[in-house]
Copies of this chain bind each other. A is one copy, B any other.
Amino acid sequence: MRVAIIGTGLIGTSLGLALQEVHEVDEVVGYDRDTDRLTAALHRGGITVAALSATQAVVDADLVVLAVPAPAIAPVADEVAGALRAGAIVTDVASVKTAAVSTLQQALPDDVWLVGGHPMAGSHETGPEHASGELFVGATYLLTPTTHTDPQAYRTLHRLVAGIGARPMAVDPGDHDRLVAVISHLPQLAATTLMNLAADQAQRQHAGLLLLAAGGFRDATRVAASNPQLWLDICAENRAAIVTVLDDYAAQLAQLRATIAAADEERLRTVLMQAQQARRRLPRKAVGGGALVELLLPIPDRPGVLAEVTTSVGAVGVNIEDFSIDHAAEGGRGALRLIIAGAGAAATAAAALKERSYEVRERQL
């Protein structure tokens, strides 16, 4: 398998390093419009060949990873569209998916398979020199299948993502953007606001204020040091979901303010204890556990079934370890085999699928 990576920053180069360890990957061709970054990726070993252009990189590639910033996705896709081979799989790594997936769907030819992706891994460092093949180990790697997604292309990408040690999870692009607004974009904007508030008050009221910053403040504001351009792009692409979640946050804060102002100790205790318990239960890494269970689903042969099944399983917090699609000889119906780790997780997934009227058979492997 020949992989092309366009954009050899931290994520692109780390993916290149990780994919080279996967048995079925033979070659990783890279391209970056910044020659220094491309050379650094080659030196770091993240790519095996440096191409002279994005177009040259994608020729004959089986998998094309667009690891460029969100605003560059449209121009790069337009540029390479004509050079992609029929049957190539294209994925991206953008942190906001509705816009990226729809841009790519429009730009790419019909004989190329698109599966949007978003690895939930990163670093405060940027650039290929900080790349690591271990970056994705244990991280959730979101894939956004839609009704247009080819099941075999999805399966290939799912297998590669699992192969680099990440935990693939399927999610609808729109759901994705609402989820990351809560778990990634809101924490960033809350940290930015907290930092600015403290800095303002230090300047206006008490220059010693920031000398009092202990571990709690440092933790709560750490991401405020992130790259402003990245967050400008994210706010532009995920505006609606971010505004909604800021409203939810403001409403909860207003409730908390009222609870404290009213000295409602019982209510405040509940709020503090709920958060304490939720924080303690926060999963460390998305690791699977337990014996493998197979779920077998007879499925109708219509578009969108794969996206519906995989995102329904993701929505109940269950990872799919592997899956295969059997097509019945007579056509019209096939079967989907999902492999889930752990009897509890398999039962949760089966229940979610049955609720959507799928017939599900479980089998311990």
Residues on A lying within 8 angstroms of B by beta carbon are 120-122, 139-140, 142, 167, 169, 171, 175, 178-180, 182-184, 186-199, 201-202, 205-228, 231-232, 235-236, 239, 242-243, 245-250, 252-254, 256-257, 260-261, 263, 265, 268-269, 271-276, 278-280, 282-283, 286, 314-319
Contact = CB atoms under 8 A, between A and B. Distances in A.
Given A184-B217, A223-B216, A210 B283 contact: yes
Contacts of A250: 250, 253-254, 257
B253 A257 contact: no
Of A191, A194, A275, most buried by chain B (CB within 10 Å of CB) is A275
B169 A214 contact: no
Contact of A194 (B206, B236, B249): B249
A224 B190 CA distance: 14
Contact of A253 (B167, B211, B249): B249
A256 B189 contact: yes
Nearest to A181: B201
Given A197-B248, A218-B282, A246-B257, A265 B212 contact: no
Contacts of A232: 265, 268-269, 272
List the 9 shortest-distance A-B pairs measured between CB atoms, nearest first: A207-B317, A228-B272, A199-B278, A187-B220, A192-B275, A225-B279, A224-B279, A195-B275, A224-B275
A316 B208 contact: yes
A114 to B, nearest CB: 22
Nearest to A123: B215
A310 to B, nearest CB: 11
A117 to B, nearest CB: 13
Contact of A317 (B140, B211, B265): B211
Nearest to A239: B260
Nearest to A180: B212
Contact of A190 (B220, B236, B273): B220
B210 A183 contact: yes
A209 B179 contact: yes
B212 A140 contact: yes
Nearest to A245: B197
A89 to B, nearest CB: 23
A227 to B, nearest CB: 8
